[in-house]
Structure 1
């Protein structure tokens, strides 16, 4: 008798998205790159609105990386303005609908006005627990690991911890993602197939879905397609697969 097909994987609790392709979207239309980034904000709004009904509880998006500072000054200025554009239009709604906002990444280098805005978004939504939105801004996976290592080293220096106390669980408690559950699914639109320094620690057993769509065109259907692909994955976390053949992943 043929073996029964494996049960579909449950919907991912925590989804992360690399919001990539804004510049190329604008270039293909003969528009300034700044307009591509603004169109990307609209894609973010659509995704945040659709995610809870699809079973997603946590959504982490890559807004600005530590490497993006090397872009032209005008584009960096536009990227710095995007949180204001998003929160000016949507923060009241997010607060009302039970969304808790968390902003990951370094505050150093950001303007005082932007830091104040990020802090306000976190404070105004701190009581919410219906849905969790993490915005990785001035964030890099390597930088986050370095910051975590520095934080633990400071605890050792202060006598609050010993080097031998460090294990994976303790280290994870020093990362930006410390309050979030493990990342289940990472989606990257735009046709690129790399992490680009996003969630390097958290990606250990995440599933990846790459889609050939530029972020401003990312729709609810694209999100559903990624979740359907995720549901067909056999997540083993290094254990024995369904067919009994040992594998590393």
Structure 2
């Protein structure tokens, strides 16, 4: 079943972003990759702050994938430290700005301190509704579907779910994003034109924008332009124009 269409000319309600290019941005300046990741983290605030004026209620960002553990130990450790610092530094501002924060992904592999900070930030901002910021951390689309399927199977085995009633509306209730609408627009920065295992189920009807800009150079003005472009697209969900 296709998602409900939006009114003609209306911008996206939910935007998801694959924030790519931090490492190349840093290397182009003769700096270590972590320098780029820190620059990219600062860029997040600007984009979150731009959302309300653009009518974007939900913003989901891809911060760390299940495949990113393959990077060097130094880079992974630096990223985990960056996540802890970001949460600690930004928590108060996010709360005051009306941003509700959620995390999706498998938390099992994350360290206890980081998981505690994530829980604390989610609780601190639970009453906010101006912007819903979802951070995908140790997230992979295939991993998410596998975990969801496992939970669904457990419910069937326990007699809580009749397998004859399972349809395409059932699985989303077991996904990490079960409380969120599907993304309308997915943006990937840095010139790469692939989805990299991000929101595979949820993005079935999303519009995509692949742009050359590296994430640390991605400004609110660029974001606004992409959001405006979305409104000009004709979305038919497999149908034809009458």
TM-score range, shorter chain: over 0.9
Q: What is the total number of aligned residue pairs between the two structures?
A: 236
1:79 maps to 79
**RMSD, aligned α-carbons:** 1.1
Say yes or no: does 1:36 pair with 2:32: no
Say yes or no: does 1:137 pair with 2:137: yes
- With normalisation by structure 1, the TM-score equals 0.92
Structure 2 segments unaligned to the other structure (5+ residues) = 1-6
SS at match of 2:16: strand
* Distance in 2 (alpha carbons) for counterparts of 1:221 and 1:90: 22
1:111 maps to 111
Displacement of 1:189 after TM fit?
0.7
Point out 4+ residue stretches in structure 1 off by more than 6 angstroms.
none
Q: Please show how residues 1-249 of structure 1 align to structure 2 within 5 Å.
A: 8-241=8-241, 244=242
* Distance in 1 (alpha carbons) for counterparts of 2:63 and 2:159: 36
CA contact (8 A) 1:209 1:229 kept: no
CA contact (8 A) 2:17 2:61 kept: yes
Greater Cα radius of gyration, structure 1 or 2:
1
Deviates more, 1:122-131 or 1:102-111: 122-131
Displacement of 1:42 after TM fit?
0.9
Q: What is the CA deviation profile of residues 158-207 of structure 1, one whole-angstrom value per residue up to 9, with x for unaligned ones?
A: 11012112111111010011100121000001011110000000110000
SS at match of 1:204: coil
Structure 1 segments unaligned to the other structure (5+ residues) = 1-6, 245-249
SS at match of 1:235: coil
CA contact (8 A) 2:17 2:187 kept: yes
Q: What is the CA deviation profile of residues 7-60 of structure 1, one whole-angstrom value per residue up to 9, with x for unaligned ones?
A: 853110000000100000001000000100000001111111111111100000
- With normalisation by structure 2, the TM-score equals 0.95
SS at match of 2:192: coil
Q: What is the CA deviation profile of residues 117-146 of structure 1, one whole-angstrom value per residue up to 9, with x for unaligned ones?
A: 111111111111121000000000000000
* Distance in 2 (alpha carbons) for counterparts of 1:49 and 1:74: 31
